[in-house]
């Protein structure tokens, strides 16, 4: 972590000298921010894990341990050291992917996370695809018809998305489309009949089943993921369509649009080629941000749909007071979230020549 501090110093120095090429400077600056933000995350999780909670020694030895057993466990856990040394050890462990062992599953936490993370990734990815495929065209149409009914419709859909509890929408969705109409499969990732038919390669069932050539399994998995992905994706749809609308409104008022109209270009071409083309850069950053928030937001969706992902893992561990697993999961989600946030920042600055 000291090396990142040096990076910080050299990054500062670099910004005062003009000989460093611009993209390198951007990446350096972002890497520094990434390192500092991540260190901040570790400070918080360390604080939560070591300072606030129930005595971590008691969690290991139990309530009725003798004083000597307690002392021994305390030294084994490194808890007799000063706090700052404990923190350094913690940072070192996290850096090599060691989050300790889960009390609940008796596996190393990192193994558990590797097992459950692909399910969350699959869900969030499908949700984002849904949100982008519908949200971008809806935003464009709303901007073109500003103030008329398509615009109002998008506005209302957005408002509903910001106001409805995701877990409730999931339950109502299950009630309607699974129990009553039987259009989609129920909770979980696969029907029991299809389980263990494909070997995990990526851990994402949709991809694994295609690799194995098992179309039945693919279709079953698709039927299971459809409802949770659409419900999760609805929130990214609400956000993406709103942002697309406001970006498009800004572009459509520009002079080059008038020029294009004067040239006699078709309205379709002006809107979908010229204006949307210029909206792409900020839109990419918005999509990255919404992807990050879906990864996090999948916690509640996973609980409702019994989806065996990271969110469910964290929540189950939490209810069992399994702090290693909770904090390990928090660090992983935090790291992905922070990286995506900053990735969107880099993309924006690299792609948009005006944002210097």
Partner 1 sequence: MSDISSPSSTGVKAWLTSENPESHLQASCGRAYYAWLDFAANRLALLGLIIVGLLVAVAAFAPLLATASPVAPDLTQRLLPPSAEYWFGTDELGRDIYSRIVYGTRLTLYVVVLVAVIAAPVGLLVGTSAGYFGGWVDKVLMRITDIFLAFPRLILALAFVAALGPGIENAIFAIAITSWPPYARIARAETLTIRKADYIAAIRLQGASSWRVIWGHVVPLCTSSIIVRVTLDMAGIILTAAGLGFLGLGAQPPLPEWGAMISSGRKFLLDQWWLASIPGIAIFVVSLGFNLLGDGLRDVLDPKSGD
Chain residues that interact with partner 1, rule: CB under 8 A: 33, 36-37, 40-41, 44-45, 48-49, 52-53, 159-160, 162-169, 171-172, 174-175, 179, 245-246, 249, 292-293, 295-297, 299-300, 303, 314-315, 318-319, 321, 323, 326-327, 329-330, 333-334, 337-338, 341-342
Q: How far is the CB of 323 from partner 1 (least distance, A)?
A: 7
Please say which residue, 13 or 219, places its beta carbon nearer to partner 1. Answer: 13
Q: How far is the CB of 175 from partner 1 (least distance, A)?
A: 6
Scanning the structure block, which residue is given the tokens 């509640």?
300
Reading the block at residue 4, the tokens are 């990142």
Scanning the structure block, which residue is given the tokens 């957005």?
158
Reading the block at residue 17, the tokens are 């000298």
Phi, psi of 108 (to 5 degrees): -60, 140
Please say which residue, 198 or 299, places its beta carbon nearer to partner 1. Answer: 299
Q: How far is the CB of 170 from partner 1 (least distance, A)?
A: 10
β-pair partners for 101: 108
Q: What letter does residue 201 receive in the DSSP assignment? A: S
Q: How far is the CB of 52 from partner 1 (least distance, A)?
A: 4
Please say which residue, 271 or 299, places its beta carbon nearer to partner 1. Answer: 299
Please say which residue, 29 or 218, places its beta carbon nearer to partner 1. Answer: 29
Please say which residue, 132 or 310, places its beta carbon nearer to partner 1. Answer: 310
Q: How far is the CB of 333 from partner 1 (least distance, A)?
A: 5
Q: How far is the CB of 259 from partner 1 (least distance, A)?
A: 24
Q: How far is the CB of 31 from partner 1 (least distance, A)?
A: 14
- Three-class HEC string of 121-152: HHHHHHHHHHHHHHHHHHHHHHHHCCCCHHHH
Q: Distance of CA 125 to CAs 204, 292, 334, Å?
A: 10, 10, 17
Please say which residue, 271 or 314, places its beta carbon nearer to partner 1. Answer: 314
Please say which residue, 121 or 169, places its beta carbon nearer to partner 1. Answer: 169
Please say which residue, 209 or 324, places its beta carbon nearer to partner 1. Answer: 324
Q: Are 286 and 342 in contact (CB under 8 A)?
A: no
| Cα–Cα distance for residue pair 287/340, rounded to 1 Å | 10
Q: How far is the CB of 41 from partner 1 (least distance, A)?
A: 6
Nearby residues of 100 by Cβ (< 8 Å), 6 or more positions away = 93, 108, 109, 324, 328
Please say which residue, 278 or 330, places its beta carbon nearer to partner 1. Answer: 330
Q: How far is the CB of 182 from partner 1 (least distance, A)?
A: 13
User: Residue 58: how many CA atoms within 13 Å on its side-chain side?
Assistant: 7
Q: Are 301 and 167 in contact (CB under 8 A)?
A: yes
Alpha helices in the chain (DSSP H): 2-16, 22-46, 56-61, 67-76, 83-95, 109-144, 149-163, 166-173, 205-211, 215-252, 255-263, 267-269, 276-304, 310-319, 323-351
Scanning the structure block, which residue is given the tokens 């856990």?
77
């Amino acid at each position: 972590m000291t090396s990142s501090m040096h990076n910080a110093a050299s990054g500062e120095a670099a910004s005062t000298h003009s000989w460093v090429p611009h993209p390198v400077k951007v990446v350096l600056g972002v890497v520094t921010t990434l390192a500092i933000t991540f260190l901040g995350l570790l400070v918080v999780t360390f604080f939560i894990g070591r300072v606030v909670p129930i005595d971590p020694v008691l969690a290991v030895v139990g309530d009725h341990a003798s004083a000597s057993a307690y002392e021994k466990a305390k030294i084994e856990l490194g808890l007799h050291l000063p706090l700052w040394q404990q923190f350094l050890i913690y940072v070192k462990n996290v850096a090599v992917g060691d989050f300790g062992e889960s009390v609940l599953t008796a596996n190393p936490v990192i193994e558990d996370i590797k097992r459950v993370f692909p399910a969350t990734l699959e869900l969030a990815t499908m949700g984002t695809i849904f949100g982008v495929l519908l949200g971008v065209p809806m935003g464009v149409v709303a901007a073109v018809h500003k103030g008329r009914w398509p615009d109002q419709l998008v506005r209302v859909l957005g408002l509903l998305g910001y106001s409805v509890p995701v877990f409730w929408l999931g339950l109502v969705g299950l009630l309607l489309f699974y129990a009553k109409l039987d259009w989609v499969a129920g909770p979980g990732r696969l029907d029991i009949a299809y389980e263990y038919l494909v070997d995990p390669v990526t851990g994402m069932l949709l991809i694994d089943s295609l690799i194995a050539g098992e179309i039945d399994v693919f279709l079953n998995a698709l039927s299971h993921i459809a409802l949770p992905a659409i419900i999760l994706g609805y929130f990214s749809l609400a956000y993406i369509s709103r942002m697309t609308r406001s970006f498009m409104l800004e572009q459509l008022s520009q002079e080059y649009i008038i020029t294009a109209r004067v040239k006699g270009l078709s309205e379709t071409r002006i809107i979908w080629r010229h204006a949307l083309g210029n909206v792409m850069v900020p839109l990419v950053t918005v999509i990255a941000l919404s992807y990050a928030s879906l990864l996090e937001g999948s916690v509640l969706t996973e609980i409702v749909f019994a989806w065996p992902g990271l969110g469910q893992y964290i929540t189950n561990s939490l209810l069992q007071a399994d702090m290693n697993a909770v904090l390990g999961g928090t660090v992983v989600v935090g790291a992905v979230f922070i990286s995506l946030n900053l990735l969107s920042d880099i993309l924006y600055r690299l792609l948009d020549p005006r944002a210097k």
